[in-house]
Structure 1
Amino acid sequence: MAGSWGRPLVVCLCMALCCPWGGLSMPDPKHRESLIQMEVSMQTGGQMVLNEKEKQLNSRLVQMKQKVVTRANFPPAMHFFKARDLITESPIFKLLQKVPKGAALHVHDFSMTAVEWLVKNATYRPHLYMCCTDTRSIRFIFCSQIPEPLPHCSAWVLVEKLRAMTINVTELDDSIMKNLTLFTDLDPDVVYPTQDVVWGRFEEAFRALWGLVTFAPVFRDYYYQGLGEFHTDNVMYLELRALLPEIYELDGSTHSMTWTLKTYQEQTRQFTADHPDFFGVRIIFTIQRGVNSTTMAQVVAEAMKLKKDFPDFMAGFDLVGREDQGRPLWYFRNELSLPSDRGLQLPFFFHAGETNLEGSDVDQNLLDALLFNTSRIGHGFALLRHPVAKELSRKRGVALEICPVSNQVLKLVDDLRNHPGAVLMAENHPLVISSDDPAMFGASGLSYDFYQAFVGFGGLRSDLGTLKELAINSIRYSSLPAQQQEKALAFWQKKWDKFIFENTQSVQG
């Protein structure tokens, strides 16, 4: 395995230029070719050695990509909401769905499972009440009797009764669904003209689904269903960012963080028992970055305890929420130093650089994340503006978790060919591709983000070797201990070999 993706030394650029050519004479074609090959070899997957069967499939894959890149309606250059159906119907996407993608290392707890499942399953359960807010959103709660009124919300109505009184139930379900996702059939640039608007709607959608997903029976099923969707998309391992909220029962009683984490663990064990080709899950405990210092100190202390109690299941800690409006990492420098001050290990996986506010306090989160020895960087969109942080992350092997669809939908970039990930992939910077909040974006699993990275970032140069290294990166940069990583890589390699065999046969056929 190591020999196939180990990066050999790249010939120094000065050697390629050691035989200068005159300014008036034609450059030597051999020198030109050597420079082209050097650039290709430096990209993600550029040093990957493909066997004969892989070369056969790669030839077909490159042909498929050439047809996409030359079309007028190039999906990565379009808003994802407009491009989704084009991507779904494309031969490249259908092949990418079959690719063993390894791990999804940046996924959030309550946006991992299809909204359609949530509406068709959770909202059809008994004892569910709904109210409509002053902001034209909705709230849910499961209760054995009519709940207490909620401020700024209409009177609670039993959803079961509401459906019984509704002539067009499909219309009602669609209306509920629109409150739980950002996806729209209208022009997304008109619906979401600014970052403030799209983030406001994004946060409102989470508030709308909260009462559904934090109800204990739904919580268990939602997580299990989400694992199933990633598994179907040929993802074998997840690192899930989870808020670990109080989960409630029908009588209003609630469970602790420990119960929530333990339930995640139990459901994971059940899923892996039911699906032996799934490797597992680890949890990254998260807290909203808008809290105050006192709350952060309490949460970090709780995180240290949970890491001690669940050493193999809890991966570490992170801050979540809109980076531009939350407190910067440096604000919490005392609280985030508590683990090291007490000689305890609490790995960090900080969101950082999910911003285009260059020069602001928030923009320094990338450097601060590295100062706190973050294991990975969530998003890192601003990294190209921070040469020191970029070099440190490369030297330390601190991978970026790049989420193309999320960055576009949340209006950091319009055309994904201009995403910083395109430059980072060209340089083989440590990175992985993930999907952040797929259900919120009308996506699922990991394949849509793989498509945008493979076609949009990579252009015509990226090939099967790129896909292979991205999959391997997802295991190499996971929080799994070294021995577990080797086991996971061997696990993945069997899946990869099977994928190559089956799809080479179909190409030959």
Structure 2
Amino acid sequence: MEKVMGGSNNDTAQYDTTKALDVVVRSRRGQYNNTILEHSSDKGTGGIENSEDYFAQRKEVLEREASLGFDYACQQKASEDELQANEILQTLRHNDDICVYKQEHARKGYGGQTHRRFCGDHFLSNVELIEETEIFKVAQKIPKGAHLHIHFNANLPPNVLLDIVKTQPRMFITSTHPLTAKNEFINYSECQIEFRIRSTADELPSNLFPADYKSGNTMRFNQFLEEFPNNYHRSSVDDWLESKLIFTWELFDKRTKMMKEYTKRCLQKFVRDNIQYAEIRVNFIQANQIWLDDGSGQINNEGIMYIIINEYEFRKTNAYFNGLKIIYCTPRSFPGDQVGAALDECASFKRNQKYSKYVAGVDLVDEEAAGKPLKHDERLSIPFLFHSGKTIDDTEGNLLDALLMNSRRIGQAFALQLHPYIMQQIKQKGICLKTCPISNEILGLTSRMSGHSIYLLLANNVYCTVSSDNPALFKSTLSHDFYQVLAGNSDITLHGWRQLIEWSLEHLCTSKDKSVGIYSQWENHWNEFLQWIIETYGGVKRMAE
């Protein structure tokens, strides 16, 4: 066998790929009757005769594989600006690795193993570095099309909620523990707090700080803010409240002005995050009902619909964000009669002339393993937009039920990668999957972004979109999710981002004319975005390793 590797003298002895392949071909000739692509050659044998044949067939295989890529259509139609912008994006990715990740000290991972910092690691491990990168700045600017999986009551972060609460004169706070200096750690770390609107007749004047405080009694929130610094010195009152609200902020008792303000700020956030359209998920349950401004009573689910729609219509003159719909959500863990009543109410909203055009569809939410499988609820004629497969293996069979019940879109679907036949059927039916990368990472479905199921789904050309799920809980935005998708796989490019966005616009729950109009406006924003990348980063050079 000929020598194909030499010593250290690169001028006279180097690895010769062509010679090596000729050696391998000669040594294996006669073992294979077909080419790599299993088609006959004009020589009649179909074998690889030499390195030239090998490289020709290798090139053909790569071209055929590329033509099956989920973003191939976007690559083929890419404008000169898009091609240039994508080259810039790859340069920025390379430079971020050198300037941001490689500058950091190695960290300990699972089992105490030490590894260098890298793009695409778990979101919580990298979040402080992500926001230093140029790619994240680009992700913030990208016009993201439609946001199709966002829980309305988990959209704004705790600090924004606190700002709203501080403006409410009839707001009170309660605790499960007295906030005394004695047993400070237990009291301040273990207590659960709630915010409650109270009328003058219903308030129970009290103080959370003395030892004789009784759980559930109310303290005026303004008074609490004044007294907190005199009783606790480990953090500011805002920082302490935010730490308590990350998982309990939904316990706010809302009022109409707060709901309007919350809706307004959600719409503003969509604009800041460069989102053109959203279908928000609202939980229509008794615990979510809204207090009147004076605390004397509550508004029902129809009142919630009215407030959200009215606030949107009042502000929809913003040309950048021009589409909103509501997905009616109710917990799947509810008893059957309550789920049935919720579905009936959703149907009544759909029949109501005032609300009909704003109802996108219905979903049953909750932890899947804790609730009933989807097959228990089969009665509504408006579109199903189910959560399914938000687990490792989908033991409840919700992915199959969502398929059989003709769910127009499926939220999460992380477990679909383990069900090839169901995946094939979902692909054939054109069902869109609303993937939530950061949510899946934080819930433990994958240890880092590179292991996320979205890449296998895209490799199989399943329609996917990118969504943020519960960003308030993760202190993230949709821009962070777009960043993670790019960071987790080096094959994702600007063309891949574009395809994910286009799919989001193709799977709206709206009329065809409306969808075409939204797409046309998005394309204008996309072209402006390309110009921004070129003007901002056109002179950036690729750094040496």
Under a length normalisation based on structure 1, what TM-score does the superposition of the two structures give?
0.84
Instruction: State the AA in 1 paired with 2:139.
Output: L
Deviation at 1:492, TM superposition (A): 0.4
C-alpha separation between the residues in 1 aligned to 2:90 and 2:215? 54
> Which residue, 320, 325, 332 being the options, matches 2:365?
320
Deviation at 1:374, TM superposition (A): 0.4
Deviation at 1:258, TM superposition (A): 1.3
Instruction: State the AA in 2 paired with 1:487.
Output: G
Which residue is 2:418 aligned to?
A: 385
- Within 5 Å, give how 1:307-386 maps onto structure 2: 307-309=350-352, 310-330=355-375, 332-333=376-377, 336-337=378-379, 339=380, 345-358=381-394, 360=395, 362=396, 364-386=397-419
C-alpha separation between the residues in 2 aligned to 1:349 and 1:96? 27
Q: What do you get for the CA RMSD once the two structures are aligned?
A: 2.4
Which residue is 2:157 aligned to?
A: 114
CA contact (8 A) 2:283 2:329 kept: yes
> Which residue, 487, 503, 506 being the options, matches 1:473?
503
Does residue 34 (structure 1) correspond to residue 96 (structure 2)? The answer is no
Q: Residues 148, 394 of structure 1: CA spacing in aligned structure 2 closer, same or farther, 3 A cutoff?
A: farther
Deviation at 1:22, TM superposition (A): 5.0
Instruction: State the AA in 2 paired with 1:464.
Output: L
Does residue 74 (structure 1) correspond to residue 123 (structure 2)? The answer is no
Bigger CA radius of gyration: 2
Deviation at 1:63, TM superposition (A): 1.6
Q: Residues 16, 66 of structure 1: CA spacing in aligned structure 2 closer, same or farther, 3 A cutoff?
A: farther
Deviation at 1:442, TM superposition (A): 0.8
CA contact (8 A) 1:140 1:209 kept: no
Per the alignment, in what secondary structure is the counterpart of residue 107 of structure 1? strand
Q: Which runs of 5+ in 1 are unaligned?
A: 1-13, 182-204, 340-344
Which residue is 2:483 aligned to?
A: 451
Larger mean CA deviation between 474-483 and 125-134 belongs to 125-134
Instruction: State the AA in 1 paired with 2:203.
Output: P
Per the alignment, in what secondary structure is the counterpart of residue 44 of structure 1? coil
> Which residue, 147, 161, 179 being the options, matches 2:244?
179
Which residue is 2:227 aligned to?
A: 165
Q: Deviations over 1:31-74 (max 9, x none)?
A: 22232233333233222121111111110101222345685312
Larger mean CA deviation between 17-26 and 278-287 belongs to 17-26
C-alpha separation between the residues in 2 aligned to 1:451 and 1:38? 28
> Which residue, 70, 82, 91 being the options, matches 1:54?
82
Instruction: State the AA in 2 paired with 1:313.
Output: Y
Deviation at 1:155, TM superposition (A): 2.6
**Which structure has more helix as a fraction of its residues?**
1
Instruction: State the AA in 2 paired with 1:232.
Output: R
C-alpha separation between the residues in 2 aligned to 1:324 and 1:133? 29
Which residue is 2:337 aligned to?
A: 294
C-alpha separation between the residues in 2 aligned to 1:315 and 1:133? 39
Per the alignment, in what secondary structure is the counterpart of residue 143 of structure 2? coil
Instruction: State the AA in 1 paired with 2:279.
Output: E
Deviation at 1:154, TM superposition (A): 4.3
Deviation at 1:354, TM superposition (A): 0.3
Deviation at 1:356, TM superposition (A): 1.7
Which residue is 2:263 aligned to?
A: 223
CA contact (8 A) 2:325 2:358 kept: yes
Does residue 138 (structure 1) correspond to residue 179 (structure 2)? The answer is no
Deviation at 1:268, TM superposition (A): 1.1
C-alpha separation between the residues in 2 aligned to 1:410 and 1:369? 22
CA contact (8 A) 1:380 1:402 kept: yes
CA contact (8 A) 1:348 1:375 kept: yes
Alignment identity in percent? 26
CA contact (8 A) 2:151 2:282 kept: yes
Instruction: State the AA in 2 paired with 1:50.
Output: A
Q: Which runs of 5+ in 2 are unaligned?
A: 1-34, 102-115, 178-189, 207-213, 540-545
Instruction: State the AA in 1 paired with 2:172.
Output: Y
Q: Deviations over 1:129-164 (max 9, x none)?
A: 1112365221111223353699x9443211110111
Deviation at 1:304, TM superposition (A): 0.7
Instruction: State the AA in 2 paired with 1:160.
Output: N
Deviation at 1:384, TM superposition (A): 1.1
- Within 5 Å, give how 1:202-241 maps onto structure 2: 205-206=247-248, 208-212=249-253, 214-241=254-281
Which residue is 2:536 aligned to?
A: 506
Deviation at 1:16, TM superposition (A): 4.3
C-alpha separation between the residues in 1 aligned to 2:533 and 2:393? 45
C-alpha separation between the residues in 2 aligned to 1:86 and 1:455? 12
Which residue is 1:155 aligned to?
A: 217
C-alpha separation between the residues in 2 aligned to 1:113 and 1:155? 28
Which residue is 1:18 aligned to?
A: 39
C-alpha separation between the residues in 1 aligned to 2:263 and 2:194? 20
Does residue 407 (structure 1) correspond to residue 472 (structure 2)? The answer is no
Deviation at 1:276, TM superposition (A): 2.1
Deviation at 1:167, TM superposition (A): 2.4
Deviation at 1:75, TM superposition (A): 3.9
Per the alignment, in what secondary structure is the counterpart of residue 290 of structure 2? coil
> Which residue, 125, 129, 139 being the options, matches 1:96?
139
Which residue is 2:296 aligned to?
A: 252
CA contact (8 A) 2:171 2:197 kept: yes
CA contact (8 A) 1:65 1:460 kept: no
CA contact (8 A) 2:96 2:134 kept: no
C-alpha separation between the residues in 2 aligned to 1:88 and 1:281? 28
Q: Deviations over 1:270-311 (max 9, x none)?
A: 2212x1221121000000111011111111111111111122
Q: Residues 142, 491 of structure 1: CA spacing in aligned structure 2 closer, same or farther, 3 A cutoff?
A: same
